[in-house]
Structure 1
Amino acid sequence: MPRVVPENVQKKQARDAKLLKELKERRDRERKERAEKRKTLRANAEKYYKEYQNQQQSLVDARRKAKNAGNFFVEPEAKLAFVIRTRGINKLDPTCKKILQLLRLRQLHNGVFVRLNKATMNMIRRVEPYVTYGYPSQSLIRKLIYKRGHGKVGGSRIPLTDNSIVEGQLAKHGIASVEDLIHEISTVGAHFKEANNFLWPFKLSSPKKGFAEKRHPYQNGGVWGNREELINELVKRML
């Protein structure tokens, strides 16, 4: 005589089978979504790389063309600056203190990206004796974000160890990975403000071989002021 399985056991077995099936379907779906996402992110990274290469090649071609024609080549105007605080709070007047707070440069050796326009240039010039700045290369932006990048998540400083951290905060702006974030910053895109606000100010180390003369401008062999493209060399010594 076959063994009779109690009704409550049958219901439990059916429920467990249903839950197991749903779990398996969800895992399969998530696995497929992750594979598609990785494929999309890889395609985006390759697209950005080609875009950066084309930009560099276009500049080189334009310089060569101007040189061969005996003309001067006017470099494109910088849209982005990287600003580093070089002095502390001693003899800091209230206006400069407020501007440094607005620039998010609250501590010595903090660094931030700034979109260059008339308003931000006026702010930087007002606090110039306390900062040094210049125009970062795309490779430097990439290195900074990968080596020292932290995001603002719920008011906390979180290292950018995974694309999901960026996606969770910036997906609504079309930024779903660290590469998307780098591209948005380096091209000063439509959502630069949101991307830059998500990035926590970079905490840099004291530069190798130190600073020369903090009280003098860079043009006179000192520290503060505009370094233009030479900011890349300084930041590399501070990473």
Structure 2
Amino acid sequence: MPFVPESVLKKRRAQAAIAADKDAASKKAAAAAKAKKDVIFKRAEKYAAEYKQQENDAIRLRREAKKANSIYVPPEAKLAFVIRIRGIIGMSPKVKKILQLLRLRQLHSGVFVKLNGSTIKMLRLVEPYIAYGTPNLKTVRELVYKRGYGKVNKQRVPIDNNAVVEQVLGKYDIVCVEDVIHELYTTGPHFKEVANFLWPCKLSSPTGGFKMKLLHYNEGGDAGDRGEKIHELVKKMI
């Protein structure tokens, strides 16, 4: 039997120990990933049922109001998607500051905003430079999946897997993209953290161009509040 130096044997034992630890770690990671996948799937199912229940409740209330010869008034919108449509020409310092606070520093950038007394006043002051409205679930989902980028260590990182979300928002029990969509759409308790995690969406110029940026939407232009019809503009710009 050939003589093997002690240093070689020691190296072999160390390599075997490293390989064993690596194999155990990979098995543990695979088991954790499987368990996490099951949790994410159950959450997605729960969210889908919640969205369906909201739709059914709205339909039921509308029918009950019609049956009682009354009018159904839907609750006020809590979420807005805001798109910057004009540059800095003729812009006052106050308007410029508000756009900076809204993180709308570039043309055709878009952000999700929680509607309250202060944000509504801010949007009114910068209306000539923005188009905004209440996005539906499909619009929120498409924006996050197609144009969603996260802020990780001050870097713009594409949200191409759930690990990117969990790395930043895991401490808030937000571990997947569906959690992000749910928090945005329902304006949940951690909306601020999720909105800050999302980088402003960089959209393209709309197909066919804008009609008239200097006029309000109600006057046949592009600026201002579009309500639920914001999805038409977003669809042209994704």
User: How far apart in 1 are the matches of 2:224 and 2:41?
Assistant: 39
Aligned to 2:71: 72
Aligned to 1:25: 24
Aligned to 2:218: 219
User: How far apart in 2 are the matches of 1:109 and 1:15?
Assistant: 57
Aligned to 1:140: 139
Map 1:51-130 → 2, pairs under 5 A: 51-130=50-129
Map 1:200-219 → 2, pairs under 5 A: 200-219=199-218
User: How far apart in 1 are the matches of 2:169 and 2:129?
Assistant: 32
Structure 2 unpaired stretches of 5+ = none
Deviation string, structure 1 residues 141-174 (Cα, Å, up to 9, x no partner): 0000101111111222111111111111111111
Q: Which amino acid aligns with 2:214?
A: R
Moved more, 11-20 or 209-218: 11-20
Instruction: Give the structure-2-normalised TM-score.
Output: 0.96
3-state SS, counterpart of residue 229 of structure 1: helix
Aligned to 1:191: 190
Q: Which amino acid aligns with 1:100?
A: L
Aligned to 1:35: 34
Cα displacement (A) at 1:3: 5.5
User: How far apart in 2 are the matches of 1:137 and 1:21?
Assistant: 50
- Structure 1 stretches (4+) deviating beyond 6 angstroms? none
User: How far apart in 1 are the matches of 2:211 and 2:3?
Assistant: 90
Aligned to 1:229: 228
Over aligned residues, Cα RMSD in angstroms? 1.3
3-state SS, counterpart of residue 114 of structure 1: strand
User: How far apart in 2 are the matches of 1:127 and 1:202?
Assistant: 19
Instruction: Give the structure-1-normalised TM-score.
Output: 0.95
3-state SS, counterpart of residue 151 of structure 2: strand
Deviation string, structure 1 residues 92-140 (Cα, Å, up to 9, x no partner): 0000000010011111111111000000001000111111111000111
User: How far apart in 2 are the matches of 1:197 and 1:8?
Assistant: 54
Aligned to 2:152: 153
3-state SS, counterpart of residue 87 of structure 2: coil
Cα displacement (A) at 1:5: 4.8
- Equivalent residue pairs, number: 238
User: How far apart in 2 are the matches of 1:7 and 1:99?
Assistant: 71
